[in-house]
Each structure stands twice: as structure tokens, then as C-alpha cells.
Amino acid sequence: MKQVHKPWGGRFTEATDAFVEAFTASIEFDKRLADYDIMGSIAHAKMLNRIGILNDREKDGIVQGLNVIRQKISDGDFVWSIGLEDVHMNIEAQLTRDIGEAGKKLHTGRSRNDQVATDIRLFLRDQIDEIRTWIAQLQTALIDLAEREADTIMPGFTHLQVAQPITFGHHMLAWNEMLSRDYERLGDCRKRVNVMPLGSAALAGTPYPLDRTYVSELLGFEQPSLNSLDAVSDRDFAIEFCAAASIIMMHLSRFSEELILWTSAQFGFIDLPDAFCTGSSIMPQKKNPDVPELIRGKSGRVYGHLFALLTLMKSQPLAYNKDNQEDKEPLFDTVDTLVNSLRAFAGMMPHVQPRREAMRESARKGYATATDLADYLVGKGLAFRDAHEVVGKAVQLGIAGSRDLSELGLQELQALSGIIEADVYQVLTLEGSVAARDLPGGTAPRRVREAARLAREKLNGGRK
């Protein structure tokens, strides 16, 4: 097999073993960074020109040559070579083939170590921006639903047992809060992604008088990195991103779990759109919630990637080690899984149909207003613990005759506590119960509407 000439081949007398060549190459996956690699190289070339290392002709040749390569790659006409190991050397070698001598000067004052760190940061910055757009889209769907269903009663659960009545809108806004934190967490992570490593070179910096601030500005970074050793070896920003991604997937998995439960015949709280479900090849009656199930399942691989990266870094001495080449696949798969999961969720939620009667009936049957009865007794002067006892007895009575609390007769209730009067039936209704929870952050329909309005304002108000 004919070997390609390696850009680092000078000190070697023997050719690389063919298996080792394939084993050590990253081109199969890092070619995904090509656009960012070219972007970084163009900025580096412009800076080399500014400080007098490249003349105008050389700089223009490099910039044009890189643009041609970019076009070739996007047209699918670029031939990647395993012998050239990675995206950086493939592009640089092609540039030199295309434009000659000037291409060989591009790598002045640079190493693949600071180059790859720059590429990943540019890539991740873009991905974070896209992910945040999807989060916002999903939030919009939830806020729309919350507004529409602000009065819709459903049982709220603790221990997956009916606890107290809430509104469906309130439940949707709980999910929105989680996503709002996710959005902010990614914004925070983005600050630490947006730092510029070039000028660190292999590890120790470079004797050329590079203008790092200029490169940083050209690439839209916040600032150049502050320590060359750290800059080439640091992958904290990727770990941090995977941690934020894991939390998002955990949230999506929790939402999924609820949707899956709610679509079951036993709950029957919602209908999912046909377009987001599939059938069974054997059981004709089935409509399976595949999309939420798959998202719940996909949370596992994203957590796995977080641990892959933490483990990748844990024993690395400073500075760059080849181990770091292993950062890309987990990171890419995290991004893809997250984008696809958010996209599926954002597409599905606007078409979820709440089954209002079923939710109401479930709250009624579950003695969801028991706490309201206790609060009523407290209002009439009974100590809360005594009230708790009285209501426990009332629930027993209800269970014995399969009656809801509001179906117990006044005399039966008065036999349990003499202070109960006819006005008790107002608090035993589901509507009365939710309307009474009228604090900011509460489930009263009026509060839900207000919270939805505030959530929408926050969403549209240019969050950081």
C-alpha cells in the first residue's frame, strides 16, 4: 500500500503500520469539525498577515484556497485520507497541494493541540445556540398548553398516589420551570466554552508575536485563554456541557414517563398525536407512545457520555495527550441525541390532547380534597392534627360506601365533628380546592394564567 507523506514524517525512517494508522486516525469522526477548522485557519492566516509573517498574496491565497476546500467538502467532493490522520492534516495537506508554498506557512505558530481545542469550542458554541432554540420552542408549546388548560382539573400526585387537585396548566408550567433552568445552565456553560486557545501552540506558547486578541475577536470569542498548558488540555467545558445535557435528558425522561403513564388506559389523561405513535405488528388495538419511550431510553447514553468524558480526563497529566482524541464521539452523540429529543418533544407537545373529564374523575375518586376538609376544620378552630384525624375517619367512611367526600351527608360529617356546617361542601369541590391555592406559584387558575404570562415574557424578553 502506498503511504501518504505525513506532515510529521521528517523524523521517521519506517512507515506507520497500516493497522496503527487506522487505529490512531480520527478522520472518520472529526471531519465533522471541518467548517470550524477552516474558520479557525482563516482567522489565524489573517492574523499572521497582520503581524507580517504572511504577505498579502500568501494570505489571500490561503483564504481563497480554504474557501474552495470548504465548498468541496460541502459538495461531497473532498477525498479524506486515513493516512493524514485527522481533519486538521487533511485540510492543510490539500491546501498545500492546491496552492503550493503559501499553504506550508499556515501552521506557523500553531499546533494541532490548540487547533483542535479551538475547533471543538467553535462547534460546541454553535450547538449550544441551536439547543437553546429548541428548548425555547418546547417552552412555548408548554406555555401555550398551560394557558389553554389553566382551568383543567387533574389529580396531583405524591408517591404516585392521588394527593391534591391541581390544574393541568400548573403541571405544564412545572415542566417549563425545569427547562428554563436548563436554558440558563447552557448559557452559563457557553461562557466557559467561548474562550480562545490559539497561541498556546503545542503546550508552551510560541515565540512568534501572535496577536491573540485579534484572532479571538475574528472568531467571536470572549477572550484568549490565560494559560497555554491548560488551554490545550482542558476539556472541562465539554464535561460541563455533557452534565447540562444529562440534566436536560433527565428532565425529558421524566416528562416522557408521565406522558407514557397518562396515555395508558388506566390513567387515560391524554391522547398523543397519531403522528408520534406507532402500532403493534401483532396486537391490532395498540397505539404505543414510542417517541417518549425512546427519549426516556436515550437519557442513558447521554449519562454514559458524561462518564466517558470524566473518565477520559481523570488521570491525564498536563498537557495534551492523545487520549483527548476520544472526546469527540461522546460529545457529538450527546449533541445529536439532545437536539433530536428536544425536536421530537417540541413537535409533539402542541398536539397533545388532554382528556379533561377523565382527569377530573380521577381527582374526584382519589379523595383529593381531603386536605381541604382538614383546612376547613382548622379554619373553624380545630388544631391541625385533630383535624387530620377527623378527615381520616371521613375518608374511611367514603371508601366503605365508595363515595367521594362531597357525597357524604351533612349528618354523617357532623357525627365526626360537630363544628362542620353546610358551607363545608364549597371546599369539598375540586374547583374550590384549586381556587383556594391562590399564592404566587400556586395552582389556582388565576395564578396559572399569571405565571404563564410571566413565563412568556421571560421567554421573549431576550434571556441571557
Which CB atom, from 26 or from 256, has the smaller least distance to ligand ARG? 26
Q: DSSP string covering 176-243, please?
A: HHHHHHHHHHHHHHHHHH-EE-TT-TTTT--SS---HHHHHHHTT-SEE-S-HHHHHH--HHHHHHHH
Shortest spacing between CB 105 and ligand ARG, in angstroms: 20
- Report the residue count for the chain: 464
Shortest spacing between CB 122 and ligand ARG, in angstroms: 14
305 is catalytic: no
Which CB atom, from 196 or from 428, has the smaller least distance to ligand ARG? 196
Quick one: cell of 416? 365526626
Which CB atom, from 84 or from 259, has the smaller least distance to ligand ARG? 84
Shortest spacing between CB 152 and ligand ARG, in angstroms: 52
Can you give the binding site for ligand ARG, defined by CB under 6 A? 26, 30, 86, 112-113, 116, 320, 322, 324-325
Shortest spacing between CB 157 and ligand ARG, in angstroms: 47
401 by Cβ neighbours in 10 Å (0-12 / 13-18 / 19+) ranks as: exposed
Which CB atom, from 142 or from 193, has the smaller least distance to ligand ARG? 193
Shortest spacing between CB 24 and ligand ARG, in angstroms: 8
Could you give the angle at which helices 384-400 and 370-379 cross, rounded to 10 degrees? 140
Whole-number Å distance between alpha carbons of 147 and 169: 6
Residue 443's nearest CA partner among 168, 110, 51 is: 168
Which CB atom, from 92 or from 372, has the smaller least distance to ligand ARG? 92
Shortest spacing between CB 125 and ligand ARG, in angstroms: 18
Which CB atom, from 86 or from 372, has the smaller least distance to ligand ARG? 86
Q: What is the three-class DSSP state of 339?
A: helix
Q: Beta 161-167 vs 195-196: how paired, if at all? A: unpaired
Under a CB-based contact definition with an 8 Å cutoff, are residues 82 and 154 in contact? no
The CA–CA distances, whole Å, from 429 to 148, 316, 401 equal 22, 63, 19
159 is catalytic: yes
Residue tagged active-site, from 74, 81, 264, 280: 280
- The neighbour count for residue 409, using CB atoms within 10 Å, is 10
Quick one: cell of 239? 464535561
Under a CB-based contact definition with an 8 Å cutoff, are residues 173 and 146 in contact? yes
Residue tagged active-site, from 5, 159, 264, 341: 159
Instruction: Give catalytic residue positions.
Output: 159, 280
